[in-house]
Structure 1
Amino acid sequence: MNDNRRPTLAAMLWPQQTASRIARFAALAIGGALALALSAKAQVPFYPVPMTLQTLVVLALGAAFGARLAAATVLLYLAEGLMGLQVFAGLSAGPAYMAGPTGGYLLGFLVAAALVGWLAERGWDRSLSRLLAVMVLGHLVIFAFGFAWLAVLVGPEKAWLGGIVPFVAATVLKTLLAWALVAAAWRAVASLRGPAA
């Protein structure tokens, strides 16, 4: 089932070998989940939704890992939080936290990581303009899920004012930063591999 997929950043930097495929997958997923947990702690404590660096990390992981590995990484992160590990932005975790105001954003992380990864596997991360479009789309997906769930909890107007408006400027910055980081990583890969890469 060859569907014009191209190697991701992770595959270029750490090529898959049959003997180490599972260990490689697990190591990258664990490392990515740790990055998500750390990015959750870099926060500005807005209410009801804190501002963190997580969306930047989600988009970068999606672009670097591809759909399946990025989705598995976010699922691992969510499972850690569901089990009560302190990986989220707040001081609590578990099912109650995940059903709270940030629940939609957490689900959006999963969908956005998979979507960004799927597009990256099809070469959308190799062009600056398409990569920027992918990062914008990923952020829109996260906000769509976040807004929809928050609107159920507090109503559309409060969800818009508390869950979207305060984050617009920071989201533009994080989108551009994720775009620049992935583009720089591809440039570094190209320089390491030489003209034939």
Structure 2
Amino acid sequence: MALNSAALAPTYLPSEGTSRIIRQTGLVVLGTVLMTVAAKTQVPFFPVPQTLQTLAIFGIAAAYGRNLAIITILAYLAQGIMGLPVFSGVASGPAYMMGPTGGYLVGFIIAAGIVGEAADRGFSKRPFAMFGTMLVADMILFALGFVWLTTLIGASKAFEFGVAPFVLGDIVKIALASAALAAIWKLLRRA
């Protein structure tokens, strides 16, 4: 199969028909499982432990492209709204969505759209371009989370607890995601 598609997953999907829909559905399910595992995975990091959610979001978006990535993140959030234990803690449901992480959860959708659009334009093959795009998407994700958290605990505490402890970890995750996608493309070109 020729690697002429800009995003990774669409390259390997049939161009139309039932088979394409089945594979897209499988990718959405796989993506929601990856998001759940990433949310539940705590990685020791300074100054606070980190989950792998942003790594999963950026990886999924860069691999799937904009539309499939947004559908995947929306499916993940819908599972959480329905009460399934997909988020980092044990809580879920509509009340959880309105809590301190609400802005970040909305940011997941926006960030997936930005990174997915860049992947659709071929950025996932270029690690520095994808790194920059993911960094911008992450800043927007943080901004949405910060603004929401500010309404609950004030700007100073929102920055102290909701932004500052996670910046370095997210930069590491962005570097890993952008490098991994470029490496996968290189491997596929050789195959």
Shared fold per TM-score greater than 0.5: yes
Letter in 2 for 1:27: G
SS of the aligned residue for 1:52 comes to coil
Report the CA distance shift for 1:15/1:181 in structure 2 as closer, same or farther (over 3 A).
farther
Corresponding position of 2:56: 57
Q: Structure 1 CA distance, aligned partners of 2:128 and 2:151?
A: 35
1:16/1:24 contact within 8 Å kept: no
The superposition leaves residues 121-150 of structure 1 with CA deviations (integer Å, 9 ceiling, x where unpaired) of 011222222111112112112111111111
User: Offset of 1:7 from its aligned partner?
Assistant: 3.2
Question: Aligned ranges for residues 96-111 of structure 1 at < 5 Å?
Answer: 96-111=95-110
1:82/1:95 contact within 8 Å kept: yes
SS of the aligned residue for 2:141 comes to helix
Corresponding position of 2:118: 119
1:59/1:178 contact within 8 Å kept: yes
1:143/1:164 contact within 8 Å kept: yes
Larger mean CA deviation between 183-192 and 64-73 belongs to 183-192
Larger mean CA deviation between 109-118 and 124-133 belongs to 124-133
1:108/1:146 contact within 8 Å kept: yes
Instruction: Give the structure-2-normalised TM-score.
Output: 0.91
Computed over aligned residues only, the root mean square deviation of the Cα atoms, in angstroms, reads 2.0
Q: Structure 1 CA distance, aligned partners of 2:12 and 2:24?
A: 13
Percentage of identical aligned residues? 44
Q: Structure 1 CA distance, aligned partners of 2:125 and 2:113?
A: 17
Larger mean CA deviation between 125-134 and 15-24 belongs to 15-24
SS of the aligned residue for 1:145 comes to helix
User: Offset of 1:105 from its aligned partner?
Assistant: 0.8
Corresponding position of 1:168: 167
Instruction: Give the structure-1-normalised TM-score.
Output: 0.88
Question: Aligned ranges for residues 1-197 of structure 1 at < 5 Å?
Answer: 6-43=5-42, 51-192=50-191
How many pairs align? 186
Larger mean CA deviation between 180-189 and 64-73 belongs to 180-189
User: Offset of 1:24 from its aligned partner?
Assistant: 1.2
User: Offset of 1:20 from its aligned partner?
Assistant: 0.9
What are structure 1's unaligned runs of at least 5 residues?
A: 193-197
1:84/1:94 contact within 8 Å kept: yes
User: Offset of 1:104 from its aligned partner?
Assistant: 0.8
The superposition leaves residues 65-96 of structure 1 with CA deviations (integer Å, 9 ceiling, x where unpaired) of 01110000000000000000000001110011
Q: Structure 1 CA distance, aligned partners of 2:157 and 2:74?
A: 29
User: Offset of 1:50 from its aligned partner?
Assistant: 7.2
What are structure 2's unaligned runs of at least 5 residues?
A: none
Letter in 2 for 1:126: K
SS of the aligned residue for 1:90 comes to coil
Letter in 2 for 1:61: I
